[in-house]
Amino acid sequence: MVIKVFTNFFKRIFSNMFQNKNNIKLGFYGPPNAGKTSLANRICKDFTGEDMGSVSNVPHETRHVQFKEKVEIKYKGKTMTFKMIDTPGIATKIDYEDFLKFKLNKKDAKKRAKEATQGVVESIKWLDDMDVVVVVIDSTENPYNQVNITIIGNLVARKIPVLIVANKIDKKKADVKKIEAAFPEYDVVGISAKNGTNLEEFYESIFKLSKKV
């Protein structure tokens, strides 16, 4: 009886230590146009050869939560399998007139605004279902945006591991240090999703965080 208890105990310990982490739900959150889909596309392209979603200069291009199941990310001989979840950008205001500046007609602009508001609601609902979240911030913008703070606050309250990605470091105005100063308690990785710069450090951080799941 005692031997059986010990055997089960060690079996459990070892299986937890060596099991291949499977289908970790990896969410991409952030304000609109920060580059969430660009980063998700970059990862998917690298490991599956396919894109995840369309990207555009017009804000709120992603208006529904998008998934990519079983993405096997390989880094330094290790493999982890993720379910990638790309979410619509979270905003506190949406005005269809802002889309007219991008040469959308009034009807399309109104449709886009309506879908974008629904997308924000959808993103917020999905916060509860994530295992690890990458908060993508445009490194050329002011990081003290309430949306960033609200997203991170909600993830911390739910005890979900967070990685902050300072995207668009290829741009002149990029300031990764400002983002690090704004969020000193978190890992911040500066990348360019567009050019694929510094993705090694990104993968390393993701693997490190995913071990906590």
Partner 1 sequence: MDNKRGKKGFGKIKGFSIQFIPFSEIRNLDSNERIKRILNIILGNNILILQGKLKPDEEARLIGDTMAMIGHLKNFKGIELAVISGNGDSQSLYNKFKHGLASALTGGNINAITIIGPATIVKEMKRNPKKIELLLST
Tokens of 151: 């997203």
Q: Out of 153, 171, 208, 212, which residue is the one contacting partner 1 (CB under 8 A)?
A: 153
From the CB of residue 155, how many other CB atoms can be counted at a distance below 10 Å?
20
The enclosing H or E element of 158 equals none
Residue identified by tokens 């360019």 is 192
Q: Out of 54, 146, 208, 211, which residue is the one contacting partner 1 (CB under 8 A)?
A: 146
Q: Binding of partner 1 at residue 109 (CB under 8 A)? A: no
In angstroms, give the least distance from the CB of 90 to partner 1: 7
Q: For partner 1, give the closer residue by CB, 83 or 112.
A: 112
Q: Binding of partner 1 at residue 195 (CB under 8 A)? A: no
Pick out residues in 68-97 that bind partner 1 (CB under 8 A). Answer: 90-95
Q: Binding of partner 1 at residue 129 (CB under 8 A)? A: no
d(CA 125, CA 89): 13
d(CA 151, CA 187): 15
Q: Which amino acid type is present at position 170? A: D
- Name 167's Cβ contacts closer than 8 Å, sequence gap at least 6: 34, 35, 38, 39, 136, 137, 138, 139, 191, 192, 193
Q: Out of 48, 81, 140, 154, which residue is the one contacting partner 1 (CB under 8 A)?
A: 154
Comparing CA positions, the residue from 203, 206, 212 lying closest to residue 76 is 203
Q: Binding of partner 1 at residue 177 (CB under 8 A)? A: no
* Residues 46 and 71: beta-carbon distance below 8 Å: no
Q: Binding of partner 1 at residue 145 (CB under 8 A)? A: yes
Stretch touching partner 1 by CB under 8 A, among 9-17, 42-50, 68-76, 114-122: 114-122
Q: Out of 43, 44, 71, 113, which residue is the one contacting partner 1 (CB under 8 A)?
A: 113
Residues in contact with partner 1 by CB under 8 A are 90-95, 113-114, 117-118, 120-121, 124-125, 127, 142, 144-147, 149-150, 153-154, 156-157, 182
